[in-house]
Structure formats: C-alpha cells, structure tokens
Amino acid sequence: MADANTKLRKAGLVFQGGGALGAFELGVARAIYGPHSRFEPDVISGVSIGSINAVLLARPARSMTGLQALESFWRDVAVNHWLSIWLGASASSLGVPGFYSPDLPWLPSRTSLYDIRPLIRTLQALVDFDGLADPSAQPQLMLGTINIETGKSVIFDSREKGLELKHILASASLPPSFPGVSIDGKIHWDGGIFDNTPLGAVIEHLDAPDPEILVVNLFPNENPPPTTLAEVSQVLTNILFANKTDADLRLMEKFNAVADLLDFIDRTFPDSEIHKTREYALLRRYRRVPKVLNVNRTATNKASESSDFSRDGIQGRAREGERLTRIALRDAGLMEASFANTEG
C-alpha cells in the first residue's frame, strides 16, 4: 500500500463560507459520503463555515464518522423552534446554541460582538484534535484566512505541520461578529472576505492525472433585480461572496495546450537537451485544469438567509444540497442514475 503522503491525489472538494447557508454543504456531504457515490475527496478546502464543515468531515471525533460529526453539529446549532418562528432569521442575532452568544456589554472598545466559546466547546466534542495535528492524516485539509496586517490570503495546509483549533477559528472569524485570531503573532480574519472559493489551493495539490474537483457554491453569480432595500442588501452579499474563479479557469485552460506540447516533446524527443533547460522546468510546473463540478445552491433575494439557523431552514438547505449533488455526481458518471434522484 502506498504511503499516505506519496499517494496521488485525484479528487478535491471546495466548501464556500456562508453562515447558515453552510447547511447546504451538509447535504453535499450526505451525497458524497453516501453508499452510492464514487467521488472520494483527497483534498478538502474551506473558508468560514466551510472550514468548520471540512474539519468535521475530515477529522471527526474518534467515536464518530465524519458525516455523523457534521450531522451532530448542525443539530446542535439550530435555534429554538418557537424563537425562530417569532423572530425569523433575526433570532440568530441573540445567539446560536453551540456556536456563539452575545458578548455583553457591547462597548466601543471591543472589536467583536459575539463570544465564540460555545463553538469551541462544540468543536472540542466533535473533532479529533490529535488527528488534526497530524500532517500525515487524510484527507488533506486546507483552511483559508486573511492576514489583516498584510491584506493577503493565507491557506493553512494540514500537510505542512498539522492544524490546530486556532486555524479553524481564524478561518471562521467574520468581523465584526467574531474576534480575530492570532496566529504566529498576526491577526487573521475569515478567509471568505478575500476569497470565498478556495479553489486554487486545491488545484495546486492534486497531482493525479485527470483530477476532479467539486465546488459548492452557496451564493449565486446571477441575481434578479432587487425590488426592496432588503433585497438590495442580499444581492450585494451574493455578488461579494459568489464564486469568481471562472475567468481564472478559462485562463488556465490555455495552459492545457502547453501541457499537450510538452507531452509531445517528451514522447518524441525523450533525450532532447530541452529537458534540461530552466524554461522547460518552469513550464512543467503548470498543472492541467481539472474537471470542475459545480453544485449551485438555488438562491433567492430573500434577505438574511445566511443568518437563518432555524431547524426548518437547516433541513431544507441540507435536502437541497443532497439532491443537487446527487444530480451533479450522476451527470459526471460518479453515481448511478438510479440513485441520483433519491435521498439517503
């Protein structure tokens, strides 16, 4: 059996951030890790709630499977049923069980509104932190943050030196709701502020021929014209956090022709001096564009969807995520058609 660190990585999974919309990713996980899927991620990346989902799937407590840990998390964070009926999505402003609570009193000198100790306790119960700290653990995890002092995106890679609780919290520290997290003396915020679709990091780390990546899009790229101020706010949020990788992928596809040319040179002139040149070595560093499967949440202009932690909202998004992922896997030949339109 090949060593875990030398095994070629063929499949990647990318989780966006989006607060309560992350329940859609629970449904995605149900489809991927269900009995009929032939898609098995070797690398999982995430930002914000996507990082939390990724860690729960990849490093669950030893008494659980990844899917069990994820199911437990989303059960724990559902707000009180009657409170959600009374206040709607705004109920989460009073706190979300197992996630965050108001950090009172709110003072101008504070840099965040909520206390995340409930999330810390939840993660301590659901995550295998020894496994999280192990660089050889599989699948590979990549969590995105932004270093606020440099303004640059930072990807923390489990294969480099393992990960810790602080990396999860940093990736999910969306200001001003949650406090920034210090890592190596630098304050980090939610990676979704800079790049809510951490696809590039996964592309760089898939090294098997013909890799495949499933990208979960929680925010739509296309929006109907808003008709109220609340809808204006939601459309703005959708645009800010939507997947913006299409242009990058189209540019990268041009390098596929270069890769084809290099393969031709290798076959036709295996002993050529060109293999020893710096230019050849640099070109060989470029990777082919993988096959990207997009699973797009069906979004509306409904305001505050990302704050709706009601049990009905969570369950509805999870069902949609499972259904749409099954269809995407079927269309990619990664799930038999007879199972694609069923749940469970």
Residue 246 domain flag: no
CA distance 286 to 308: 42
The predicted structure's pLDDT at residue 339 = 65
Q: Please report, for residues 55, 58, 99, 230, 238, the alpha-carbon distance to residue 43 in angstroms, rounded to integers and kept in the order given.
A: 11, 9, 26, 37, 26
Q: What is the pLDDT of residue 311?
A: 92
| DSSP string computed for 133-201 | T-TT-SSEEEEEEEETTTTEEEEEEHHHH---HHHHHHHT--TTTS--EEETTEEEEEGGGT-S--HHH
* Beta-carbon count within 10 A of 167 CB: 24
Residue 156 bridge partners (DSSP): 143
Residue of 217, 204, 287, 211 whose CA lies nearest to 245 = 217
Question: What is the model's pLDDT at position 142?
Answer: 98
257, part of any domain: no
**Tokens read off for 61:** 């407590």
Residues 6+ apart with CB under 8 A from 51: 15, 17, 143, 144, 168, 171, 172, 191
**What local confidence, expressed as pLDDT, does residue 85 receive?**
56
Do 214 and 290 meet the contact criterion of CB atoms below 8 Å apart?
A: no
pLDDT of residue 89: 61
pLDDT of residue 4: 47
In a domain, 151, yes or no: yes
pLDDT at residue 74, rounded to an integer: 98
CA distance 169 to 140: 18
pLDDT of 247 reads: 75
pTM beyond 0.75: yes
Q: What is the CATH number of the domain that holds 196?
A: 3.40.1090.10
DSSP letter for 45, please: E
Task: Give the residue numbers marked as catalytic.
Answer: 48, 190
- Residue-wise pLDDT tens digits, 255-283: 778 888 888 999 999 999 898 899 888 88
Q: Which domain holds residue 85?
A: 11-230+290-332
For position 114, what pLDDT does the model report?
95
Residues of the chain with confidence (pLDDT) below 70: 1-8, 81-91, 301, 303, 338-344
**How many domains does one find in the chain?**
1
